[in-house]
Chain A
């Protein structure tokens, strides 16, 4: 540890990053700690209850999220990346010729198989 501290060079371009890191972490920790140490803390039931537009809370806050949101996001990521690969190929279509066409057809074909699988498994159903 002493070797590490003594090896810090003040002329290093990343020294300012280290300083920033120390000050930022120090400030964040310091603010939280100071407010906890210096502030009053009196427990009041109404003060600690959940805020729900001024009225009394109706339901519990921990609602169970359906997995369909995750599936939609995952399918989006996959096919969006597929189209991201399709754009450069489309730009250079003429130069790549038949070789590029067959290669891209194989790529899209494999992803098509994946789409059929997702379709069959019911991942495209919203309900």
Chain B
């Protein structure tokens, strides 16, 4: 029985912490004199840290429906809240000394960042299609603002424009799909929709609704063919924003994709950890095709990129493709693989973007030529980037390898061999463009004279990101146990 409004507030503490921080940031922006003072960053960090800690401390147990069934608090939601809050905290550190953001108001930037975080919290735990739409827009709209944050730079404005138009269209199609589902089942609760759909329904509206909802969610995770916005947005936005967009909203998009499809279009199948389709809509096959196409397009286009930021953008599209592999298998083990991969992906991707931010701070550009000889100019950063890039490829003993092992193992266990083959070939292709950066860093002479000094905070942050990338490749047991506990999605 879902709790009423007042009783739910007790369980809503992370979101309340973020909301209070956002309001304080608004006040700080209005009242503050010095644009570049670090108070806004500190406030944002404190708020995010508190939300992260409160979310982490949520007692594990049966899921609870909150706010009359709008939002649900289960292990799955808590996992994604912790993940997205951690990503936001790291991005805040990344933004502090970024050269692109130094002459813009700080409080406003963190205001938007935390608004996206609030949206991601709600998106991970939404159990009603109206709340789902609201949360998706709350994630998207501040992202539009963040993407276009650099007013003087034409590519930033263009990025924001493309993002707005694309996002509005995708959201519109998605909500049309939601309205079809409401029309078919008479309820806006996704558990109720799933229950009514298992009783049998006309195939055409169900298939149409599934496809339309796929448009909306596919846009959020940048799956092909809904990925058109991401290269331009990732290139035009400030680099910390790109890092944030490639990890946070993508993770939240996966959360809602899994929760929605596994509640509405599938139902638990008696046997432990298996699911079965609840209507005649064969969405796993659709997503398997999307996964293969996403991986392939992401990897093939990344080969030609000279701008490292754009290259990492395309590589994050490819990684969404890998993660979709775990989604099509209709087993709990597949979901566990996705969750584990999201954890290792967070550290690898944010780490890679962090080094790009540090290099761009010195050279004002992210072109690959500025990475030449980084091994001699900034050895710590270069080695960290090499670790992150090899982890992204999926080479042992780094954590990316373990993530891929879980995904591949489950795909092969379920017999979807063609998908595993496509993924393996794509991993090989990705090695080329990741290793090219490593080669340029260590085997070419520097084009820029002088060393690239790193302050203490970037060094510590890089260390914080490198350690899990190395450690999780050898000892990943605790993370896997957390994902096992988190995978039970509330379907009351």
Residues of A participating in the B interface, judged by any CB pair closer than 8 Å: 4, 99, 110, 113-114, 116-117, 119-120
Contacts and interface: CB of A to CB of B under 8 A. Distances in A.
B257 to A, nearest CB: 28
Interface stretch (B24-32, B289-297, B352-360, B372-380): B24-32
A120 B30 CA distance: 6
B23 interface: yes
A114 B204 contact: no
A110 B26 CA distance: 10
A120 B204 CA distance: 52
B23 A117 contact: no
A17 to B, nearest CB: 14
Contacts of B204: 4
Interface in B116-141: none
Contacts of B27: 113, 116
Interface residues of B, number: 8
B272 to A, nearest CB: 37
Q: Interface of chain B, helix or strand or loop or mixed?
A: helix
Contacts of B26: 113-114, 116-117
Contacts of A120: 29-30
Interface in B226-246: none
A117 B30 CA distance: 6
A8 B415 CA distance: 40
A116 B23 contact: no
A113 B28 CA distance: 11
Contacts of B30: 116-117, 119-120
B29 A110 contact: no
Interface in B153-212: 204
Task: Point out which of A110, A113, A114, A120 has the most chain B C-beta atoms below 10 A from its C-beta.
Answer: A113
Contacts of A99: 6
Interface string B23-52: 100110110000000000000000000000
17 contacts: A4-B204, A99-B6, A110-B19, A110-B23, A113-B23, A113-B26, A113-B27, A114-B26, A116-B26, A116-B27, A116-B30, A117-B26, A117-B29, A117-B30, A119-B30, A120-B29, A120-B30
A41 to B, nearest CB: 35
Nearest 7 CB-CB pairings of A with B: A113-B26, A120-B30, A116-B30, A117-B26, A113-B23, A117-B30, A110-B23
A113 B19 CA distance: 12
Nearest to B24: A113
Nearest to A116: B30
A113 B23 CA distance: 7
Contacts of A114: 26
A120 B26 CA distance: 10
Given A114-B26, A116-B26, 6 more contacts: A4-B204, A113-B26, A116-B27, A116-B30, A117-B29, A120-B29
Nearest to B111: A117
Interface string B367-397: 0000000000000000000000000000000
A49 B26 CA distance: 52
Nearest to B5: A103
A120 B31 CA distance: 9
A38 to B, nearest CB: 37
A110 B16 CA distance: 13
A96 to B, nearest CB: 12
A60 B19 CA distance: 48
A4 B204 CA distance: 9
A110 B204 CA distance: 44
B266 to A, nearest CB: 24
A99 B7 CA distance: 13
A113 to B, nearest CB: 5
A114 B23 CA distance: 9
Contacts of B23: 110, 113
Nearest to A120: B30
A97 B265 CA distance: 44
A99 B23 CA distance: 21
Contacts of B6: 99
B18 to A, nearest CB: 13
A122 B23 CA distance: 19
Contacts of A110: 19, 23
B34 to A, nearest CB: 15
Nearest to B203: A3
A116 B32 CA distance: 13
B7 to A, nearest CB: 13
A97 to B, nearest CB: 13
A99 B9 CA distance: 14
A88 to B, nearest CB: 15
A110 B118 CA distance: 15
Interface in B430-484: none
Contacts of A113: 23, 26-27
Contacts of A119: 30
Contacts of A117: 26, 29-30
